[in-house]
């Protein structure tokens, strides 16, 4: 199939060339990160033990929670009202009924979730909540209103947790190294705009052709988000 594609010059199709280049950039950027982080030191036994002791909610006091949840899309200026209503409500159903009356969109869910499947900040809050209690947690772009239906303890001893902690700490260090490298690359990067992307060229073009738009579609596409995608593999 590859031979046929090359014979029919499909590999020269602009869309195909762009796709191949995108894959190439992704592979190269991942390889760069892997090589950069390959020599990351393994955490010491002391670091592993310290993490175990500092996070009892995950290990020595680990629980499995039965939860009901409302993920609320918060309209501008309504977060305070939602929190106040939740504080006064006795059940999650009361909060859901109020949200419907106020026409505030939300999604409901329920299930059993072990401690390791929950964000660490949320886990620390859950550990202090009693059965039936409501709580409000912040999440990206929304509020998460939860009710603890029940919880049972399933602790994990230090010996069993050690390999997991070691892998977690290693990955966290590698991520930090990669982020610092990316920040350094961005600070040292020199970007030169040429042709239709050159601001000076656009100014001259606008002068020669009164009434023409100040930027072309191609120039508009050079937003910070678009530039970030070019180094997305380093994230």
CATH for 125: 3.10.50
pLDDT digit string (tens) for 86-99?
Answer: 999 999 999 999 99
For residue 27, being part of any structural domain is answered with yes
Give me the pLDDT at residue 140, please. Answer: 72
Q: pLDDT value at position 233?
A: 37
Q: Are residues 72 and 106 in the same domain?
A: yes
Statement to judge: residues 32 and 68 lie in one domain: no
* Together in a domain, 91 and 10: no
Residue at 97 is within a domain: yes
106 within domain boundaries: yes
Does residue 134 lie in a domain region?
Answer: yes
pTM of the complete model: 0.59
Domain of residue 215, residue span: 191-235
Q: Considering the domain boundaries, does residue 53 fall inside one? A: no
Domain count, the chain: 3
Average pLDDT, whole number, for the chain? 83
Last residue of a domain, one of 97, 128, 153: 153
Q: What long-range pairs does 153-158 form, CB within 8 A, spacing at least 24?
A: 153/61, 153/62, 153/63, 154/62, 154/63, 154/64, 154/114, 155/59, 155/60, 155/61, 155/62, 156/58, 156/59, 156/60, 156/62, 157/59, 157/60, 158/49, 158/52, 158/59, 158/60
Could you tell me if residue 168 is inside a domain?
no
- The enclosing H or E element of 177 equals helix 158-188
pLDDT bin (cut points 50, 70, 90) of residue 202 is: low
Q: Measure the CA–CA gap between 113 and 65, rounded to whole angstroms.
A: 5
Indicate whether 79 belongs to any domain.
Answer: yes
Per the domain annotation, does 133 fall within a domain? yes
Residue 146 has pLDDT above 60, yes or no: yes
What local confidence, expressed as pLDDT, does residue 208 receive?
44
pLDDT score of 205: 52
Residue 232 has pLDDT above 60, yes or no: no
Residue 166 has pLDDT above 70, yes or no: yes
Final residue before a domain boundary, out of 123, 153, 183: 153
In this structure, are 129 and 195 located in the same domain?
A: no
Whether pLDDT at 162 is above 80: yes
Question: Residue 201: its pLDDT value, please?
Answer: 64
216 pLDDT tier (thresholds 50, 70, 90): very low
Q: How many CB atoms lie within 10 A of CB 57?
A: 19
Candidates 151, 147, 172, 168; CA nearest to 57 is 151
Do residues 121 and 200 share a domain?
A: no
């Amino acid at each position: 199939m590859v031979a046929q594609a090359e014979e029919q010059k499909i590999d020269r199709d602009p869309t195909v060339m762009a796709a191949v280049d995108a894959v190439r950039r992704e592979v190269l950027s991942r390889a760069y990160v892997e090589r950069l982080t390959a020599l990351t030191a393994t955490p010491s036994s002391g670091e592993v033990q310290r993490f175990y002791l500092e996070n009892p909610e995950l290990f020595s006091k680990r629980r499995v929670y039965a939860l009901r949840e409302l993920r609320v899309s918060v309209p501008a200026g309504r977060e305070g009202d939602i929190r106040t209503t939740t504080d006064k409500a006795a059940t999650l159903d009361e909060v859901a009924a109020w949200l419907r009356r106020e026409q505030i969109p939300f999604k409901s869910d329920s299930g059993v979730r072990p401690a390791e499947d929950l964000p660490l900040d949320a886990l620390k809050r859950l550990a202090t909540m009693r059965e039936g209690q409501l709580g409000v947690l912040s999440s990206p772009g929304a509020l998460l209103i939860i009710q603890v239906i029940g919880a049972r303890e399933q602790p994990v001893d230090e010996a069993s947790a050690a390999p997991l902690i070691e892998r977690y700490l290693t990955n966290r260090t590698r991520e930090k190294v990669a982020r610092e490298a990316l920040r350094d690359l961005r600070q040292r990067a020199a970007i030169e705009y040429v042709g239709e992307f050159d601001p000076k060229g656009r100014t001259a073009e606008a002068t020669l052709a009164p009434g023409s738009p100040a930027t072309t579609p191609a120039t508009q596409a050079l937003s910070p988000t678009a530039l970030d995608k070019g180094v997305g593999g380093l994230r």
